[in-house]
Amino acid sequence: MTISGRISQSAFDGSRLRVILLLDLYEGAQQQFLDAYEHMRNQVASVPGHLSDQLCQSIENPSQWLITSEWESAPPFLAWVNSEEHVETVRPMHSCVRDTRSMRYSILRETTPAQPLTPESARSAMQVEARVGDGVARHALTFTVKPGSESKVAEILAGYKSPQAQVDDKTKLRRTSLFMHGNRVVRAVEVEGDLLAALRHVARQPEVRAVEEAINPYLEQDRDLTDGDSARVFFTRAALPAVHHVVSGRKAPADLRRHALYYPARAGCGMELARLLAHQDEAAAEDPKNPVYGSTVFQRDDIVVRLIDITGELDLDPVASLGLKGRKKAAELERLLDGAAIGVEGSLETERNINRLLSHADMLPITDRSATDS
C-alpha cells in the first residue's frame, strides 16, 4: 500500500503487523511463566486477525524471553491489546516478569525459499514505501476522575513543576499537552528517541510522583502506584495509543494553536471513526488552504481523541476543524459518533449542529509545555 510521505505513523496502512514483546523474568519463574503462556495462547489463537505466535527463550540467558506474533493488520491487534479481556488474560504472567518492552512493526518485505517476494507482488498485502518521520514518538494516557472533582484535578495537573526534559543522550521529552473533557483527562506526550525510556524517566521524577499521588483520591479507578501489579493494570487500561500522525509539507506557521477534540464513538465503532479522521487529515495535509497543519489521532475502544495544530480559531472553519471536509463526510461521522454522549443529536449536515459539535468536542486545555529548544 502506498502512503503519503507526510504520514510518520499509521495503523491504517493495510500491511501485516509484527509484534515483538521482550521479557525479563524473575529467576526461578521460568516454568510458571511457561505454564501461564500455555493457557494464554489458546485464547489468543481465537482472536480475530491473529495469524501466529512464537515463544522463545534466550540460549544465553534463561531469564530473557521473547514473544513474537503476527497479525493481519494493526487494527485487530490494537483492539485486542487494549481490551479488558487482554488485561485479564495476561494478568497471571505479571508475577513472573521483572520488565517488558513491546515493539510493533509493519511488515514491508518478506522472503521465503519457496516464493521470494518482490515489491510488485507485495503491493496488495504490505506497506510498499518506507515512512519518514521526525524522530518523535507520540503516546497518550486517559482516565476519568470522580464527578465534582474536575476543577480540583485541573488545578493539580496545571500546577506541577515540569520534569527534567533530557532523559539521556538520545532521548528527550519534547512536549506534554494535557486536556480535560468533563471528568475525562487526556495527557499526550511527544518524545524524541526512546518512548519507553522517557515514560519511565518521567514516572521517577519527584514532582510527577507528587502529582500522581495528589490526584489518587479523585480517580474513578483505584490504584496503588507502590504496588507493581496495580500500577501496571492502571496504566495498561489508561493507554491511549496514537494510531495516526500526519503533518503538512508546508512550512509550519508561527501562529499554530494546539487543540484536542473528543469524539466518543458508538459501541464497536472506535477504530472505524479513527480511520475516518485519519483519512480526512491526510487530505487536509495535502490542501494548502486547510487550517489544520498537523494531526495525531489517538484511539482506544470507543474513545477517539484528535490532537490538532491549527492556524487561527477553531470556529473560523468548523468543518475543517472537525475533519469533515468532503461530500457526505458529516453523514459518515454521524453514523459512527455517539452524539448523545457528547450532547449533540440529530443531523450533522446542519450548520447549527456542526457548530454545536465543535463546541462540545473541544477539550479544555489544562497545560501545554514544550522543552525550551523544541
Q: What pLDDT is stored for residue 222 in this prediction? A: 86
* Residue 67 within a domain: yes
The predicted model scores a pTM of 0.90
Domain boundary among the residues 186, 215, 241 is at: 241
Domain boundary among the residues 174, 206, 241 is at: 241
> Are the C-beta atoms of residues 337 and 264 closer than 8 Å to each other?
yes
Mean pLDDT, contiguous 10-residue spans, the chain (374 residues)? 63 92 96 93 92 96 96 94 89 91 90 66 59 85 96 94 86 94 96 86 85 93 81 86 92 92 96 96 92 96 97 94 93 95 90 95 96 68
User: CA 109 to CA 67: how far, in whole Å?
Assistant: 21
Domain co-membership, 225 together with 259: no
State pLDDT tens for residues 130-175.
777 778 999 999 999 999 999 999 999 998 888 888 888 889 999 9
Could you tell me the residue range of the domain that residue 95 belongs to?
A: 17-105
State pLDDT tens for residues 53-78.
999 999 999 999 999 999 999 999 99
Count Cα neighbours of 362 within 13 Å in the Cβ-side half-sphere: 17
> Are the C-beta atoms of residues 249 and 6 closer than 8 Å to each other?
yes
Domain co-membership, 233 together with 198: yes
Domain boundary among the residues 241, 273, 292 is at: 241
Going by C-beta distance under 8 Å and a sequence separation of 6 or more, which residues neighbour residue 121? none
* Residue 370 within a domain: no
Alpha-helix residue ranges (DSSP H) falling in 219-350 = 228-238, 270-286, 318-322, 329-336, 339-342
Q: What pLDDT is stored for residue 3 in this prediction? A: 44
* Residue 77 within a domain: yes
The domain that contains 222 carries what CATH number? 3.30.70.1090
DSSP codes, 111-175: --SSSPPPHHHHTTTS--SPP---SEEEEEEEEEB-TT-HHHHHHHHHSSPPPPSB-SSS-EEEE
Question: Hey, how many other C-beta atoms are within 10 angstroms of the C-beta on 73?
Answer: 18
Domain co-membership, 254 together with 349: yes
User: CA 172 to CA 208: how far, in whole Å?
Assistant: 16
Residue 323's nearest CA partner among 280, 266, 271, 270 is 280
Assign 267 to helix, strand or coil: coil
DSSP state of 61: -
Residue 207's nearest CA partner among 372, 373, 369 is 369
Domain co-membership, 164 together with 80: no
User: CA 304 to CA 353: how far, in whole Å?
Assistant: 19
Provide the grid cell at 259.
487543540
* Residue 116 within a domain: no
Q: What pLDDT is stored for residue 363 in this prediction? A: 98
> Are the C-beta atoms of residues 70 and 18 closer than 8 Å to each other?
yes
* Residue 25 within a domain: yes
Domain co-membership, 101 together with 142: no
Q: What pLDDT is stored for residue 37 in this prediction? A: 94
Q: What pLDDT is stored for residue 2 in this prediction? A: 40
